[in-house]
Amino acid sequence: MSQTPPLRPEYEIALQPLTDLPLERELSLAQRLWQQAWLRKSLILMTLALLWEVAARLQGNDLLLPSFLQVARALVEDLASGELLEKVAISLSVLVKGYLIGILLAFVLTSLAVSSQLGRDLLSTLTAMFNPLPAIALLPVALLWFGLGEGSLIFVLVHSVLWSLALNTYAGFLGVPETQRMVGRNYGLRGLRFVALILVPAALPSILSGLKIGWAFAWRTLVAAELVFGASSGQGGLGWYIFQNRNELYTDKVFAGLAVVILIGLLVESLVFALLERYTVRRWGMQR
């Protein structure tokens, strides 16, 4: 009489009645809260603020290192008076103009690069020449060409955005599978329609990475340029606010301006780009 072969352990578990299976342990409230990314980041920021306050009190010189509470007070006062909001609005208006122009030029260059050999040679040559060149190094030339005004700032902003975005976008275009390219050609897509409908959606993760890198470069370049030559067209932005308060030895306001630079960077990264990724590449299964 033949014996029945034993079942594998995973099948034995599958054949058990549901009542015999161990119930999944419910997570505690603390564990559920810890899974929230915003809470973990908030705890990191609060820890840094506490360390800053302790270091300032131990250092004991407000001129060199004001405490976190002093900086927070100066920040609230200048926000309430409207002075800091006006500086931020001036800087962001210039930043958006330069950023959008840089995006447009990067799209034109990469479209030419995927369309012809001459475009590829042009993109590789220009990026090899200008990508290593710091944007702030072009500021003296910008002042000669465009004068002390908004045009000089936009010029250096376009330089800071253009090359990193063009390189990331072109690398994304090269990574598009040939199958998707063939589908586009079978539907009769050519030129800009092929780029916009086939290459851009498929290369969107690389494009978003380039947009984030370009944003970071543009933001730091703008603040640095305003620190170098100050007011633009009779109005100073956030960099000018920091420079002016440094000259007047208002160190708490200098740190308040730096805190605003950091906060704007965090907001753009956690709101604009995070939402853009959530509703595009993550929703489409292109990114975890």
Predicted confidence (pLDDT) per residue in 16-55, tens digit: 554 444 444 555 666 666 666 667 778 888 899 899 889 9
Give the residue-averaged pLDDT of 95-103: 93
**What pLDDT is recorded for position 18?**
46
**What pLDDT is recorded for position 23?**
42
**Does residue 66 have a pLDDT over 60?**
yes
**What pLDDT is recorded for position 195?**
83
Checking phi first, is residue 60 left (phi over 0); if not, alpha (psi -120 to 50) or beta? left
Residue 238: name the closest of 30, 123, 90 by CA.
Answer: 90
**Tokens 């001459």 belong to which residue?**
118
Give the residue-averaged pLDDT of 119-128: 91
Distances (CA, A) of 195 to 86, 114, 182: 40, 8, 13
**Is the model more confident about 100 or about 237?**
100
User: What's the whole-number average pLDDT of the chain?
Assistant: 82
Predicted confidence (pLDDT) per residue in 174-210, tens digit: 888 888 888 888 888 887 888 888 888 888 888 998 9
Highest mean pLDDT among 5-14, 36-45, 85-94, 219-228: 85-94
**Does residue 69 have a pLDDT over 80?**
yes
- φ, ψ of residue 12 to 5 degrees: the values are -60, -40
> How many C-beta atoms surround the C-beta of residue 51 within 10 A?
11
**What pLDDT is recorded for position 5?**
56
Distance CA(135)–CA(158), nearest Å, equals 9
**Does residue 59 have a pLDDT over 70?**
yes
pTM for the full predicted model: 0.78
Q: How confident is residue 109, by pLDDT bands cut at 50, 70 and 90? A: very high
**Does residue 14 have a pLDDT over 80?**
no
**What pLDDT is recorded for position 196?**
82
**What pLDDT is recorded for position 73?**
92
**Tokens 């899974």 belong to which residue?**
35
**What pLDDT is recorded for position 22?**
47
Residue 166: name the closest of 216, 130, 135 by CA.
Answer: 130
Q: Between vectors from CA 262 to CA 102 and to CA 72, what angle results, nearest 5°?
A: 145
**What pLDDT is recorded for position 269?**
82
**Does residue 56 have a pLDDT over 50?**
yes
**What pLDDT is recorded for position 27?**
56
- The three state secondary structure string of 141-189 is HHHHHHCCCHHHHHHHHHHHHHHHHHHHHHHHHHCCCHHHHHHHHHCCC
Domains and CATH numbers, the chain: 67-282 (1.10.3720.10)
Q: Alpha-carbon torsion 98, 214, 280, 179, what sign?
A: positive
Give the residue-averaged pLDDT of 55-78: 88
Question: Of 26-40, 85-99, 133-147, 257-271, which gets the smallest average pLDDT?
Answer: 26-40
**What pLDDT is recorded for position 101?**
95
Give the residue-averaged pLDDT of 275-286: 78
**What pLDDT is recorded for position 24?**
44
Q: How confident is residue 104, by pLDDT bands cut at 50, 70 and 90? A: very high
